[in-house]
Structure 1
Amino acid sequence: MSVQRERTEWVPDGHEFALCLTHDIDRPYKTYQSLFYALTRRDPSHLLDIAPSRTPYWTFDDLLDFEREQGVRSAFYVLDEQSLFTDRSPREWLTMTGWQLYAGRYDIEDERIRDLLETLRSGGWEVGLHGSYESVDDRERLRSEKAHLESVLGEPVLGGRQHYLRLERPETWEHYRAIGLQYDATLGSPTEYGFTDGYRPFRPFDDDFVVFPLTVMEAALPDPAASFDRAWAACAALLDEAEANGAVMTVLWHPRYFSRDHPGYGRLYRRLVRAALDRGAWVGAPGELYTACVGTR
């Protein structure tokens, strides 16, 4: 396939490049992080966030308002993870690994999560699967998580991304394809950014199953609280490269990074989206781009 054909296949008419917006919903509530930040940042005000009335990581209202104002939609990948105290062995309750992987998670059956999913679905946002930590090589667990999410959402999901970007190649993609998912957005790095895995989505099995490489996760960028100019320069350079190569640039911003615990990241995201639109990019969710360019089975 020629370079020009690859460009036109994945970048909708009238646009020079595409920007796919994604958000992994890992921890919408601040729990043990309150104590962690109070100690590590020597700021006892974080302890106030333990109160049930305070939900600093629930940033969805402002995020959706911004995307709505810009006329764009993104993908939210929903995690159906095990709970530390009800699903895991007591031996893990006092381990750092146990707390990191399974504490402070959420139940997709909870009313507030159900309401959020309905807001996303009815508002035109994409809801996808965020495969749990142990599902990377467990097809039946993935199948169960997908079915559970779809039962709450009330409609099928198109694609997803694995938690912690855990990926077995090509086994995880084979699992995705086998359970009826049409794309994966896992391939990428939590510590490095760039077009390491190419400028466009690719088809690992030469069929309609597609991989969207992750260009940048917010935590891999220079800290905008320390130097917003450096962080923005990195984003601007990625936009330059995307525009020059007719690329599909995929970004990941976790919702909690729009909170005060991560200053500067929300501003950086808003500037990135506005700059892409100003450059004439197509901006939206991976599922939307997949449907426009490939269709659905």
Structure 2
Amino acid sequence: MTDSGEFAVCLTHDVDRPYKTYQWLSDAITERDTRHLHRALSGENPYWRFEEVMAIEDRLGVRSAFYFLNEPSLFGKSIRQWADPARWIEHLGRYDVTTPEIREVIRRLDRGGWEVGLHGSYDSARDEGRLRHEKNALEGVLGHEVRGVRQHHLRLDPPETWKIHAAMGLSYDTSLGSSTECGFSHGYRPLRPFDDEFLVFPLTIMEVGLPTDAERAWRECERLLEEARANDAVMTVLWHPRYFDDREFPGYRTLYERLVERAVEMGAWVGPPGKCYDRLGIESITP
């Protein structure tokens, strides 16, 4: 990653849904288990895992990036968009970054050394006006500029989306990747799509792209860490905060801890992409 030959592991979290809402009923029907409804009625919120993630990373001596989403309401949208089930899923799961609870956690992350970035909404990959609105809203909460972005659902239209990102003053994007496959299919180092200082950090691992069997998933993580070390690579990892709840997603929290611990043991630099960007010699990255 640098002149020292160190490899890097960038840790990231997309804050899609900090509150479990319609999923309670869906899970109860799908699994035929009324315990989901009992948990909902108790006021429990398994998707709010910020404190847990911070505690884990604090213990391991690392930091990560959290990308916050500002999905617009369906109100004012076209009839075609109202009729799209995917739009309803996004609408029902939306949250507002300016509400007191979200505002406080954003500022707490920032004060604690975590990176806060932008999670571009469903249609923003080709809508500069929309993405600028989302960036401004997040920066208004944060009190300073954000540097990095990942588009929601990895919706990307390169190079147009990257042109939008660069024009807005963002330093990097990390939307290039897959939710179903893990690996270095886009190379071992960040990309320079415009041969300037704007970087693209390809996504190496998203938790849902790993095998569902815990030991097979771990073997895949360890294999990719070994490949990263052998190639002085920059490896980017995405773990959604809700996957840290063991009752909802058993085994994923432990797998994340194990991955980070092993990366540190192997001598990797571990941290958020923004800090990795600063450590990289831009001139040393082949365009």
Which region of structure 1 is more displaced relative to structure 2, 91-100 or 182-191? 91-100
**CA RMSD between the two structures:** 1.7
Is 2:160 the counterpart of 1:144?
no
Provide the rounded CA distance (Å) in 1 between the counterparts of 2:259 and 2:185. 20
SS of 1:28 mapped into structure 2: coil
Provide the rounded CA distance (Å) in 2 between the counterparts of 1:20 and 1:99. 32
Q: Give TM-score, length-normalised by structure 1.
A: 0.90
Provide the rounded CA distance (Å) in 2 between the counterparts of 1:33 and 1:88. 24
For 1:73, the aligned partner's letter is: R
- The match for 1:221 is 210
Which residue, 131, 148, 169 being the options, matches 1:180? 169
- The match for 2:285 is none
- The match for 1:3 is none
CA displacement at 1:89 relative to structure 2: 5.4
Identity %: 56
State whether residues 20 and 74 of structure 1, in contact with CA within 8 Å, keep that contact through their aligned partners in structure 2. yes
Provide the rounded CA distance (Å) in 1 between the counterparts of 2:267 and 2:191. 23
For 1:180, the aligned partner's letter is: G
Which residue, 79, 100, 105 being the options, matches 1:111? 100
SS of 2:2 mapped into structure 1: helix
SS of 2:62 mapped into structure 1: coil
Which region of structure 1 is more displaced relative to structure 2, 46-55 or 23-32? 46-55
- Kindly provide the CA deviation profile for residues 68-110 of structure 1, in whole angstroms up to 9, marking residues without a partner as x: 11111000001011134x4545776675323222212111111
- The match for 2:243 is 257
1:26 and 1:177, CA in 2 relative to 1: closer, same or farther beyond 3 A? same
Provide the rounded CA distance (Å) in 1 between the counterparts of 2:218 and 2:54. 22
CA displacement at 1:55 relative to structure 2: 1.0
- Kindly provide the CA deviation profile for residues 160-204 of structure 1, in whole angstroms up to 9, marking residues without a partner as x: 100000000100000000011010000000111100000010111
- The match for 1:17 is 7
CA displacement at 1:293 relative to structure 2: 2.1
Structure 1 residues without counterparts, runs of 5 or longer: 1-6
SS of 1:53 mapped into structure 2: coil
Is 2:24 the counterpart of 1:34?
yes
SS of 2:227 mapped into structure 1: helix
SS of 2:188 mapped into structure 1: coil
SS of 1:249 mapped into structure 2: strand
- Kindly provide the CA deviation profile for residues 253-293 of structure 1, in whole angstroms up to 9, marking residues without a partner as x: 00011122111111110000000001111000000111222
Provide the rounded CA distance (Å) in 2 between the counterparts of 1:53 and 1:144. 32
- Kindly provide the CA deviation profile for residues 118-162 of structure 1, in whole angstroms up to 9, marking residues without a partner as x: 111100000000000010101111111111110111110011100
Moved over 6 A (4+): none
Is 2:54 the counterpart of 1:67?
no
1:91 and 1:168, CA in 2 relative to 1: closer, same or farther beyond 3 A? closer
For 2:244, the aligned partner's letter is: F
Provide the rounded CA distance (Å) in 2 between the counterparts of 1:72 and 1:265. 18
Provide the rounded CA distance (Å) in 1 between the counterparts of 2:203 and 2:61. 23
State whether residues 2 and 281 of structure 2, in contact with CA within 8 Å, keep that contact through their aligned partners in structure 1. no
State whether residues 188 and 215 of structure 1, in contact with CA within 8 Å, keep that contact through their aligned partners in structure 2. yes
Which region of structure 1 is more displaced relative to structure 2, 44-53 or 16-25? 44-53
Provide the rounded CA distance (Å) in 2 between the counterparts of 1:107 and 1:53. 20
SS of 1:147 mapped into structure 2: helix
- The match for 2:40 is 50
Provide the rounded CA distance (Å) in 2 between the counterparts of 1:45 and 1:94. 31
